Amino acid sequence: MKLARCLSGAAAFALSGVLAAGLSLTSAEPAQADQTALRAADPSVIRVGGTYVSVQSAGGGIVVRQAPSTAALASAPARQVWSDSRGLGEVWAPEIVRDGGRYYIYFSAGRGAGHRMYVISSAAPDHGYTAETRMALPDDKWAIDGTLFTFNGQRWFVWSGWAGDTNVEQNLYIARMSSPTTPTGARYVISQPREPWERVVGNPFINEGPEPIKDPSGQLHIAYSANGSWSDQYCIADLRLKAGGDPTHVWDWYKSNGCLFGSNRATMMPGWDPTLHVNGPGHHSFVLLDGDINTSPPAGPRFPLMFHAVPKGTPYAWENRYWYTGTFCWWGSTTYSRTNVPGANTDTGWSLKFFE
């Protein structure tokens, strides 16, 4: 039975890794989706010791919550850590990470085509943040949903943006970082919304919400959201960097052949089932220790996840999105294939299963 792969990969090693990392587990799928009381979008959650820290745009600024579990975040006090005192505009999708013992929150702010990425930082998760600094991303184009990670000793920044100055499609870009706040070198496109299953809803066509994680073989993945966030076709898909691949080389990335977490069967990757209780799941957060992909879980049981979605039976609209607590696990021996492109056309490795 293929589901056993959630428990494969040297069970003893997996269990010891889980206990050493102190990660929360769940062994049974809930009878219904675990909706929190937070009517909001774009969750970003990390674990620091035994405390879960979330960040959210609210009230024209950014708020942080801390709680002993992901489920308790909704009832935790929201502490405002940054306000848009300079009138930058819409504040979207803040992401929190911890690097070198310091907290960094990356967010997009602006109006229309003016959206750019900004960063604030602090020695504490819920107070003492610096004033915002605009990130000098290469080419200085519209940019949202950025986050920092370290892979093979190199800091990277990945985000969703435009190739030019018009809203045609949102691509995923990656750039090296010389520090948590300073990009260096060029930007490189790693994904464009060109597959039929990620072009069901467009104007523009969308790849956004990139979230990095490292699989049990040490390969880099960037799970992302596809299709318009204003529709129930919104879903989560995966990019897997081939073993030994170059993150800046687009042909070293292999894309899942459909949504891995979505509510419409027609767009799901073969072998993956649509959601039962929510519509349009997307813009998720792997709940990792310190938000560091080098603490990514091994093969084994399920691990914490947060995502936003709209409950089934409710009209799909941005204002009806809630944060949900879910789980994910690694799924082995999964082939991603492509056609009419340079190099090898298939790559087999770890994929992901998501659960409401």
* Structure confidence by residue, pLDDT tens digits, 263-302: 999 999 999 999 999 999 999 999 999 999 999 999 988 9
CB 97 within 8 A of CB 148: yes
- Relative to beta strand 44-48, strand 288-289 is parallel
pLDDT digits (tens, 9 = 90+) for 178-208: 999 999 999 999 999 999 999 999 899 999 9
pLDDT digits (tens, 9 = 90+) for 75-84: 999 999 999 9
CATH number of the CATH domain containing 306: 2.115.10.20
Confidence band of 343 (pLDDT split at 50, 70, 90): low
Bridge partners of residue 106, in order along the sequence: 95, 119
Sort 206 into a burial class: Cβ within 10 Å, 0-12 / 13-18 / 19+.
buried
Q: Which domain holds residue 60?
A: 2-355
pLDDT above 90 for 31: no
pLDDT of residue 62: 98
For residue 63, pLDDT over 50 is answered with yes
Structurally, how many domains does the chain consist of? 1
pLDDT classification of 32: cutoffs 50, 70, 90: confident
Mean pLDDT of 321-345: 90
If you average pLDDT over residues 319-341, what whole number do you get? 94
Measured CA to CA, the distance from residue 349 to residue 221 in angstroms comes to: 11
What DSSP element (H or E) covers 280?
strand 278-286
Check residue 202 and give its pLDDT: 87
Q: How far apart are CA 253 and CA 222, in angstroms?
A: 10
What is the number of residues in the chain? 356
Percent of the chain's residues with pLDDT above 90 = 87
Say if residues 321 and 308 touch (Cβ distance below 8 Å): yes
8-22, 90-104, 209-223: least confidently modelled range? 8-22
Q: Which pTM value belongs to this model?
A: 0.92
Confidence of residue 33 (pLDDT cuts 50, 70, 90): confident
pLDDT in tens, 118-164: 999 999 999 999 999 999 999 999 999 999 999 999 999 999 999 99
Percentage of residues in the chain with pLDDT exceeding 70? 90
